A and B are shown apart, each in its own frame.
Chain A
């Protein structure tokens, strides 16, 4: 069995999760503090990919990253770099699709934070950086961790936008989800089933990890 789709899916998911971990927390932290109107608008915009069909996300991404489009054309002329149809093109798609998951869970966690902790820390002379990393983040740890794991799981399962922007090239851009579709389409039921089992096993392990983390937190 060729394990390339597994490795490719894992690296795409890992890179995307790494990016949205910081981007999601950053957005959540500043938007939680923003004035109400701005908060409402940004909230809608940033949550949109969660409810849009992945094909719509893929279409919109191709509209800007495609070789003849604004950003895509610029990269092609300046760096001679094609942004679509490579294995890492899928990262663009995954990042956009999983960003709302991280953003929303992190924001929920930040909003449940007891602000008096930050206030009293300030009056005790503790710096705002210290407060963020040593008080706010530990307090919100559980929500942020849950958001990260969920985002990772969702990234592994990304299909629609990925197939549009990275396509399916065996050994180059194939992921688990695009492989399953391709194998099913070509009537290779045995191998399709193998990949389905691989996918199920990974998702099972990830969700088990989330539950164990929550249990351990509750016991403490």
Chain B
């Protein structure tokens, strides 16, 4: 099913064939749940937010103009839903001094993250990933796991392309700092 087929399905839903929504649900429910589960710690909340995302998508389907892919539009709804939920819950994440981030060189981070066979590093990295805030988790999940381009991420998170790139570089440096802090502790 490509973008054109999806657009046709959306038109049919808007023309009253509500049952066609199950195609979109079958196609995206696991991706959306998996994305939300990565950025929200509670599985129950992730399931509820996935439901909210699809319900919002259904209610606002007439506003989808096809200027981006349906998945990008759906991811944007999922992200905004998760942001609203987190804002209500007032979750706090550890902050890192910006000057410390500036001191980390890109080359050092690149060298550390280039290898994926070091079990100790991977375990530290998993612990570090858990300490990222929601926006950072969303960015790296979209970039590394969902394999989205910078332009698509920018569209989903309503940022500029340059902003996405800068944030990705800073997240990498933050992870580098976090794994090294964990080493010394």
The answer on A and B forming one complex is no
Residues on A lying within 8 angstroms of B by beta carbon are: none
Residues on B lying within 8 angstroms of A by beta carbon are: none
